[in-house]
C-alpha cells in the first residue's frame, strides 16, 4: 500500500466532504458527527453547526 497516496486521498476526501452543507445533512439524518471531520481546520465550527441542527 502506498501510504502517501492514501493520506493524500484521505485529505482530499475530508476537503470535499467536511463542508457545512454535508454536516447539516448528516445532522438532519440523525447521524453522529463524522469522525473524519474531527481533524479539519474548522472542526469546532462544524461541530457547533451539527449540534445546533441536532438540538432542533
Instruction: Compute the C-alpha angle 28/8/29, nearest 5°.
Output: 5
Each residue's pLDDT tens digit, 10-55: 999 999 999 999 999 999 999 999 999 999 999 999 999 999 999 9
Helix (H) or strand (E) holding 16: helix 3-17
- What's the length of the chain? 56
Q: Using CA atoms, how far apart are residues 39 and 29, in angstroms rounded to an integer?
A: 22
Under DSSP, the state recorded for 32 is P
pLDDT value, residue 51: 97
pLDDT value, residue 1: 86
Query: In terms of pTM, does the model score above 0.95?
Result: no
Amino acid at each position: 500500500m502506498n501510504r502517501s497516496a492514501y493520506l493524500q486521498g484521505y485529505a482530499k476526501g475530508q476537503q470535499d466532504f467536511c463542508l457545512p452543507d454535508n454536516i447539516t445533512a448528516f445532522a438532519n439524518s440523525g447521524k453522529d458527527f463524522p469522525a473524519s471531520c474531527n481533524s479539519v481546520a474548522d472542526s469546532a465550527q462544524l461541530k457547533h453547526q451539527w449540534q445546533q441542527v441536532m438540538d432542533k
